[in-house]
A and B are shown apart, each in its own frame.
Chain A
Amino acid sequence: MLVVSLTSPLLAQYEEEDFHLQPVMGVWFGPMTPFPGTELSKVLNAALGGGGFFRINIPSNTFQLETGVSFFTLTSLLTERLTVIPIYLAGVYKLPVDFALSFYFKAGGGMGYFANKPEGNNGYLPVFYGGFETSFPAGKVVNIGVRFDYYFAYETWMKPQANYKMIDGHFISIGIMANFNMNP
């Protein structure tokens, strides 16, 4: 369907317009959880968090750039806590379909700030990011939508110690989002 959409002559007119995509800023909140089945999911539970992002135009009618940050503190019933603050830069691809809903696919990376308990260590790890978003306009300025984000926190590059299993972090979050057109 994607291929059909991209090659459809009906969509050719989009290329003639300059920057029909809107730069937006948005905020969202929702739950984050370690990806089910991964090592961290055996330790940590889901928690509510949120974030914000900017999406700006680049000279393209299907691609934009997005930067965002979010904040979560994953908890457990016992002693473990993990504060997760990913900061990412991602390319955004808008599905070029003429429909009330807009669909965006995102991929990118950045750094994540992590603080753990009970060990009490904190610092930055490389983070890879993938996301999907769908929204619809609610007036000229406001759009309302949902977003699905996946963060891969890369830690296995560190040298493992004896009797110690190095793991990576896989996190998913789902958010209810409001974003605002910056160029209405």
Chain B
Amino acid sequence: MRNMKKTFLYLPLAGAVFAVTLTCSQVPLLSDLYNNRITLVLKGTYESNTPYGWNTSVYTDDSLASYTGAIATSTPLQSNVSLYLDIADIRLSTGTGKPANVAPQDYWTYFTPKREVFCSNNYANGNLSYKILSCYNDNGDQNYLDLFSSGFTFPAVDVPQTTYKHMAIFFRKVIAGPAIAYSDAASNGPTTQTTTFDNRFLDGINLMDSIVQYDLSDTTKATPLLFPLQRTDLLLEIPPGRDPYVMEVRIFLKNLLMKHVIQHNGGVSTAGPLTFVGPSDWKLNHASTDLTGAYQMGGNIAFTARIYDPANVGNLKIVDNWNTAAYSSGAYYAVLPTGTIYNTNTLPYAATSVGAGGGTITNLPPGSYDIYRTCDKKQWQSGGFVAVDGKDGYPETVVKCDTKVVTAGSTTNSADLSLVGACTAACP
């Protein structure tokens, strides 16, 4: 027993020597948890820079032409449209689709700590400045303004350093108004539709109930989209090291809103057509008279995401001496890294509005970029995808103007694109 006691006397001494000889960490281990490298910027615009202001009126679907009276003619002013968004979270994954036998926690990287709301603060019961106090208290008013201008900084924490292919934006609610049901096709018996946001009544309908929840091709409504907004073809590479970086996510909502009609005679308690505001049917014609398909417009909200290191970016100034009046609405300048193929079904890498004399795209990592001009020159109608100017807000036609190399820390000027290549002509 005496020997044992001695043994234990030496133990802490050995422990102390062991502890002292260990080398202290040269990198912060605790502070890294508190400080975040990521800045997650969410934009509700096609443009990554200098977005257009709101359109005066929303677009109207071609199917409204077969109605008379208020259904056909009362197009809501954009300033009278109410838009209330509730985003539960944004999530990432390295996979390209969650297998059924994998738990969500194992598939997704959750990195946004809290839900965010965005409120246009109009309207209810004819009150254009209707304020939902709980949304206001959650900064929903300012969030809304930020989302559709310079971008909203979504609270986020760091994610493991890897390459992510799958991003999903979990919308809990997308309320758009006004929505009015009529008793017949001649605009008799209008009834304003109401729904709830934050447990308060509001004029409008929740697009998440069905409209954007089901893919338009899903005729049996068998598979609701897990998220109406997800992409599995992204290549978001988190930069190694310890420098801050920006993850920019753009959802095309601003200047894409359209007045739609759904003919649901006898289908629900209010017999007659229902008009509502939602994303335009730029991807496939809205089947307004199809009792099933009329409620399916999934996939009409497009989004994209990119990552840049703000310490290692340059600007590209697009010079264009076309008279801006030569462009119809829905015209943009877009850039793609050289070597990538333009896919008109998704948003480009970065874009800017076409202003007088052009615009500047900022925060481009150094490299070579193809400059495109995109225009809204087509619309889905019952007769098919027809050429018609500025009817749905989505730029479907694209021409490549030029290629320019951007270097870090400086602004590269393009040539006057109104004199270069395919862009000497007006929108195709």
Q: Residues of A at under 8 Å CB distance from B?
A: 23, 39-40, 42-44, 54, 56-58, 65-67, 77-80, 82, 87, 89, 110-111, 114-126, 153, 155, 158, 163-169, 182-183
Contact = CB atoms under 8 A, between A and B. Distances in A.
Nearest to A83: B29
Interface string B161-182: 1000000000000000000000
Contacts of A79: 109-111, 157-160
Nearest to B113: A78
A61 to B, nearest CB: 15
Contacts of A125: 24-25, 29-30
B23 interface: yes
Contacts of A114: 25, 29-30
Interface string B1-34: 1001100110110011011001111111111111
Contacts of B158: 79-80, 118-119
A144 B371 CA distance: 74
Contacts of A166: 28, 31
Given A79-B157, A119-B242, 20 more contacts: A40-B33, A43-B33, A43-B34, A54-B11, A56-B8, A77-B110, A110-B19, A111-B19, A111-B24, A116-B30, A117-B160, A118-B158, A118-B159, A121-B27, A123-B25, A123-B26, A125-B30, A155-B29, A182-B5, A183-B1
A182 B25 contact: no
A-B pairs, 10 with minimum CB distance: A123-B25, A56-B8, A118-B160, A67-B12, A114-B29, A111-B19, A169-B30, A119-B32, A67-B15, A124-B22
B409 interface: no
Contact of A54 (B8, B34, B109, B157): B8
Contacts of B66: none
Contacts of A58: 9
A124 B32 contact: no
Nearest to A109: B19
B19 A121 contact: no
18 contacts: A44-B33, A78-B157, A79-B159, A82-B30, A82-B33, A87-B19, A110-B19, A111-B24, A114-B25, A117-B160, A119-B32, A119-B242, A120-B161, A121-B28, A122-B25, A123-B23, A153-B30, A167-B34
Contact of B34 (A78, A123, A126, A165): A165
Interface of B: 1, 4-5, 8-9, 11-12, 15-16, 18-19, 22-35, 109-113, 157-161, 242, 244
A31 B50 CA distance: 51
B1 A126 contact: no
Nearest to B20: A111
Contacts of A169: 30
A78 B111 contact: yes
A90 to B, nearest CB: 9
Residue from A39, A114, A118, A155 whose CB has the most chain B CB atoms within 10 Å = A118
A43 B113 CA distance: 10
Contacts of B8: 23, 54, 56, 182
A3 to B, nearest CB: 29
A163 B30 CA distance: 16
A54 B26 CA distance: 30
B31 A164 contact: yes
A161 to B, nearest CB: 8
B5 A23 contact: yes
B28 to A, nearest CB: 6
Contacts of A183: 1, 4-5
Nearest to A123: B25
Given A54-B8, A67-B11, A117-B160, A165 B35 contact: yes
A121 B33 contact: no
A160 B27 CA distance: 11
Contacts of A118: 158-161
B68 to A, nearest CB: 54
Residue from A44, A57, A123, A163 whose CB has the most chain B CB atoms within 10 Å = A123
Contacts of B31: 155, 158, 164-167
B90 to A, nearest CB: 12
Contact of B30 (A89, A167, A182): A167
A135 to B, nearest CB: 18
